[in-house]
Amino acid sequence: MSFLSRAFRRFLHNEDGAFLVDALLLLPAFVWAYTGLFVYWDAYRAINTVQKASYTISDLLSRNQDVAGINDAYLAGMRTTLNTMIDADQSSKIRVTSYKWSEPNNRYEVIFSRSPNNEMTALTNANLAAITDRLPLMSDGDSAVLLEVEVSYTPPAAFGLDPTTLEQFIVTRPRFVAKLCHVSFAC
């Protein structure tokens, strides 16, 4: 009996291999945590990149000085610029809407609304009325440019995030002209 009790005590105090056992138990948790952090970090990075790229495009539109108006090639160039700033595996759509406030009609009115290759439907006065709460208050005759961006995002690993569309809704006032016009629309 003393031999068995001594052997049992020795077994209880022996810590050889404890690190290996602990490592094997904790390794899956570390891999899971690392993968999760990487996936969520990538999602926040993508959101931040899309937001910065969208504000850059909006700023470029607001700085346009051509009183004759922009054209579809200019809008396609804006989308190409956006695609250059975001990840290569992401696809984007943009819609540019120039609009004004009409005090006599008590509503926002579309000057023009275009999307390269008609990927997004053009906004109408009725569409603007539906999103009035998202638009800034304006004085009679004031105009603004609404840039809407949609970018597809697929996480690098299936880890709690599904593929989604990152959206930006940016309103900017033209800086150097009274309103942003399009050559195909009466301004």
Residues 70-120 pLDDT 10s: 999 999 999 999 999 999 889 999 999 999 999 999 999 999 999 999 999
127's enclosing H/E stretch is: helix 125-130
Lookup: tokens for 27: 């390794």
Q: How many residues does the chain have?
A: 187
Domain boundaries, the chain: 2-172
pLDDT of residue 17: 64
| Burial label, 42 (beta-carbon count in 10 A; 0-12, 13-18, 19+) | middle
Alpha helices in 15-109, H assignment, sequence order: 18-62, 72-85
Which residue type, as a one-letter code, is found at position 117? N
Residue 98 · residue 115 · CB < 8 Å: no
Q: What is the pLDDT of residues 7-45, one digit of tens each?
A: 777 766 766 667 777 778 889 999 999 988 999 999 999
User: Residue 115 carries which side chain, given as an amino acid letter?
Assistant: S
pLDDT of residue 122: 96
